[in-house]
Amino acid sequence: MPSLEKFWQHDFLGNDVRSWTFALVTFLITLTVLPLVKGFISARRRHWAERDAQLAGSVANAHVGNAHHAIGLATLLVERTSLFFLWAVAVYLASRDLAFTPRVERILTIGIVLIFWGQVGLWAMTAVRYAIDLRRKSSAGLDTLLTSSMDVILFAAGLLIWAMVLLLALDNLGVQIKPLLAGLGIGGIAVALAVQTVLSDLLASMSIALDKPFGIGDSLTVGEIQGTVEHIGVKSTRLRSLSGEQIIMGNTDILKSRVRNYGRMRERRAIFQFGVSYDTDPKALAAIAGLVREIIESTPNTRFDRCHFLAYGATTLQFEVVFYVTRSDFNTYADAQQSINLAIFERLRAMNVSLTAPNRTVVHFENTPPAELAPGADRDQGLRT
């Protein structure tokens, strides 16, 4: 037994064998228990996520309390804990009762502090992403505006979080950060002057993310440029033009321009005119407004506003029609306008009413043989719009 006691008291690298054994046991237990706990919580979180997906939209899941969100965030943070952090915790717990040389102690302190604050930064970024996802899921439908600005929000949040992490880590390591902050302030001014265009676009992207004037999928007209938003980045926004090419515009240039966002249209107002001949019977002339109203009201996705015999033209009796398309996309409007034009054309022809052609030539709908047409008369028929 004296020999065993002597063995436990044997000095090795400044610590006896008993201390090294206790530190090794602490390290192994910590590195075994913590990953098991992490794996169990991660498995439970996946189970809860599947259950919530099955209950999505149901009454039981219509109102989720703050406690549920807090538990969800806590389990997500556990799942996002890195293995390096678990190793650092195990090394820290195992080394508390061990004595090291100042150099080794300094190396361990630097490593543990950097790993700890790095993990804090990862947790903070995870919390920001969780908050964004939670906001998007709680919106009525898909929040495309939040989706389009997510990259900008994450970039700004990441810049702030990692800057704070770096400063706090340096402060824990004994570095005087006040002179560093002063130097960074002076250097930041110089850098800002050198890259003011980039910073201007960055601030513009943050303005777009916060104000949300448009989102991915919106159809925009910026000055003379028209296209659909494909991507909103930190420096630029990318549009897909009607002719197919991609247009890349600086965020500052967009905010300086007048932007027409057709993606926010609730409905589209349409106005067109057509003219009939002075030979039209007064009773038929009076019936045209009701006829047009009947045609528009029977056309899908449209709402009639008015139809008036508006003016006496040089060679035509001018009607003006206003209606609304209840959907904002242009194809629906074009389909409705075409259907209305064809219906008006057919109904007026059945009433034996003459329309004036765009070149002010009066076109009659009787089956007149081609030989009887006046020389130089236009044979085309159409609506004046």
Question: What local confidence, expressed as pLDDT, does residue 348 receive?
Answer: 93
* Confidence tier at 170 by pLDDT (50, 70, 90): confident
Question: What local confidence, expressed as pLDDT, does residue 369 receive?
Answer: 42
When mean pLDDT is compared across 80-84, 203-207, 346-350, the lowest value belongs to 203-207
Q: Each residue of 303-322: pLDDT tens digit?
A: 999 999 999 988 899 999 99
Query: What fold is seen in the domain 198-263?
Result: SH3 type barrels. (2.30.30)
Question: What local confidence, expressed as pLDDT, does residue 214 receive?
Answer: 85
90 Ramachandran zone, left/alpha/beta (phi>0; psi -120 to 50) = alpha
Here the tokens at position 231 are 């991507």
- Mean pLDDT calculated for residue range 149-175: 80
**SS3 category, 41:** helix
Residue of 354, 339, 328, 184 whose CA lies nearest to 269: 328
- Mean pLDDT calculated for residue range 191-199: 62
* Confidence tier at 346 by pLDDT (50, 70, 90): very high
Question: What local confidence, expressed as pLDDT, does residue 378 receive?
Answer: 42
> Higher model confidence: residue 245 or residue 104?
245
State the helix-helix crossing angle for 83-95 and 17-54, rounded to 10 degrees.
150
In the predicted model, is pLDDT for residue 139 greater than 70? no
Residue of 126, 128, 125, 110 whose CA lies nearest to 169: 110
* Confidence tier at 78 by pLDDT (50, 70, 90): confident
- Mean pLDDT calculated for residue range 109-117: 89
The correct CATH number of 268-372 out of 3.40.50.720, 3.30.70.100, 3.40.190.10, 3.90.1150.10 is 3.30.70.100
- Do the Cβ atoms of 363 and 355 come closer than 8 Å? yes
* Confidence tier at 385 by pLDDT (50, 70, 90): very low
Instruction: Match 């009433």 to its residue by tokens.
Output: 351
Q: Each residue of 258-272: pLDDT tens digit?
A: 888 887 788 888 999
When mean pLDDT is compared across 66-70, 229-233, 304-308, the lowest value belongs to 66-70
b/e sequence 50-67, b meaning 16+ C-beta within 10 Å: eeeeeeeeeeeeeeeeee
Residue of 206, 49, 232, 245 whose CA lies nearest to 144: 232
> Higher model confidence: residue 300 or residue 8?
300
Supply φ then ψ for residue 173, to 5 degrees.
-85, 5
Question: What local confidence, expressed as pLDDT, does residue 337 receive?
Answer: 94
Q: Each residue of 30-54: pLDDT tens digit?
A: 888 888 888 888 887 777 766 655 5
Give the whole-number percent of the chain exceeding pLDDT 70.
73
Question: What local confidence, expressed as pLDDT, does residue 289 receive?
Answer: 94
When mean pLDDT is compared across 22-36, 185-199, 260-274, the lowest value belongs to 185-199
**Euclidean distance between the first and final Cα of the chain, in Å?**
111
Mean pLDDT of the chain: 78
